[in-house]
Amino acid sequence: MDASVTAAQTRQDYKILGLISTGHFMSHFYILVLPPLFPFLRAEFGVSFTELGMLMTAIYASSAVSQVPVGFMVDRYGARVVLTFGLIMMAVGFGSMGLVSNFWLLVMLGIIAATGNSVFHPADYAILNSSISPHRMGRAFSIHTFAGHLGSALAPITIIFAASQFGWRGACIAAGVFGIMVMLGLATQWGSLHDDALPKKKKQGEKVEEPAPESQKSGLALLFTPAMITFFLFFMALSMTSSGMSAFFVSSIIAVHSTPLETASTALTAYLFCSALGILLGGEIADRTKRHDLVAAASFIVFAIVALLVAMFNLPAFFLFALMVVSGIGNGIIRPARDMMLRAAAPKGSTGKVFGFVSAGIAAGSAVAPIPFGYMIDIGKPEWVFYLMAIFMVVALATVAVPKKLN
């Protein structure tokens, strides 16, 4: 290939990846706009923390429920249109929260914003799948995922700073304005973005090739094939493990081994930081191998072993940190491998609905996970938090080889 063509394609890939990753950053950023503002909202509207929890439940549930229908819209109307409208809904929803004087209006705006937020996984992956050079796809998925984690990490400190300067209302409005600016930037680059929506009509005088029989699988029939259900369980198991680690690691290890709070918190921070780094490393690995199932399987085994060791042994701080670093890197490496396996299994023209379906699995795992983990702590069996993490990883391991055989 001509060097100038290669350089031009590289620039195009990075531009597209920058645009889509910025949108994914905003998606994760917006989801964590409200929790840091809870003290302000509680004082403003006279509501309880239970009611504020219900607000977040409504937001997460709306986003989860919307994933699959949005995936169908992406495949029917194209990812660019859906992504742009989603960004508008999300930015306007969160931005308008700074103007309301009633808590239930806040809930309604949260539902609207969450529905807009649901477009990112189906639309982003459809665009990346069709716009990025295949030999960079693993790195593209990893950077896209990393951008989302970065949005989650920066949201609390950014919103608290904005609220300290402009009040909580000003912070919401500023977040909304930023989202509109991102949307306008994305809209100006529509010509650079492509998706794999199947052609719906033949233009006069133009012959449009019919999709292959496998590509014609669509609708709920595709989503409820054994392969897609297995992927759903795969993503759900990973989500439950990640949620359990993030939310219950500190409480559990303190209860099991009387680990000092500072040590437990530092170990979790090391895990989360290395997980983000592992995502970038996983992208490099994903572009250098076709055996993404083996990469994922190895990471699952490492994570499960670490969980068991932490449960069974009161480790010195140094060894605990080392294990959490290894576990975090492994957990990050899984993400690009996971996305590449799903990409390979998704028929052409179905990327939106497929990624929307499994993203609902991620949301379902996050919603379900607190129940068994919290129950184990409540009944005085905190070590079972780690055993459950290992079990969920074994479940994920069992599903790794199945989709390729069933697809």
176 shares its domain with 46: yes
Using DSSP, state whether 78 is helix, strand or coil. Answer: coil
- The string of DSSP letters for 181-224 reads HHHHHHHTTGGG----PPP-SPPTT---PPPPGGGG--HHHHHT
149 shares its domain with 62: yes
131 shares its domain with 20: yes
Q: How many CB atoms lie within 10 A of CB 305?
A: 16
Q: What is the CATH number of the domain that holds 309?
A: 1.20.1250.20
Give me the number of domains the chain comprises. 2
171 shares its domain with 131: yes
In a domain, residue 252? The reply is yes
List per-block mean pLDDT (blocks of 10 residues) for the chain, which spans 407 residues.
64 82 87 86 86 82 83 81 87 93 92 89 82 82 86 84 91 91 78 59 48 50 82 88 84 91 88 87 85 87 94 93 92 87 78 82 80 87 93 88 53
Q: Kind and range of the H or E element at 339?
A: helix 317-345
Residue identified by tokens 């989302």 is 148
The pLDDT value given to residue 247: 77
The pLDDT value given to residue 35: 85
The pLDDT value given to residue 26: 87
The pLDDT value given to residue 9: 76
233 shares its domain with 365: yes
155 shares its domain with 251: no
175 shares its domain with 254: no
In a domain, residue 57? The reply is yes
Looking from the CA of 355 toward its CB, the CA atoms found within 13 Å total: 29
In a domain, residue 212? The reply is no
19 shares its domain with 144: yes
Handedness of CA 187, 190, 191, 192 (dihedral sign): positive
Q: Please check whether residue 38 is in contact with residue 52, taking contact to mean a CB–CB distance below 8 angstroms.
A: yes
- Give the span between the Cα atoms of 336 and 286, in whole angstroms: 6
End of a domain among 172, 190, 208?
190
Amino acid at 131: S
In a domain, residue 8? The reply is no
The pLDDT value given to residue 196: 56
End of a domain among 151, 172, 190?
190
End of a domain among 139, 171, 190?
190
Give ∠ CA 204-207-210 in degrees, rounded to 5.
125
261 shares its domain with 168: no
Residue 257 contacts by C-beta under 8 Å, 6 or more apart in sequence? 314, 315
- Give the span between the Cα atoms of 338 and 145, in whole angstroms: 11
143 shares its domain with 290: no
The pLDDT value given to residue 100: 92
In a domain, residue 62? The reply is yes
The pLDDT value given to residue 219: 67
The pLDDT value given to residue 368: 80
In a domain, residue 210? The reply is no
> Which alpha helices (DSSP H) does 132-225 contain, by range?
137-187, 219-223
233 shares its domain with 178: no
250 shares its domain with 383: yes
Residue 118 contacts by C-beta under 8 Å, 6 or more apart in sequence? 62, 63, 64, 66, 67, 70, 86, 356
In a domain, residue 6? The reply is no
Integer Rg of the chain from CA: 22
- Give the span between the Cα atoms of 81 and 84, in whole angstroms: 5
In a domain, residue 74? The reply is yes
- Give the span between the Cα atoms of 3 and 371, in whole angstroms: 55
Range of the domain at 62: 13-190
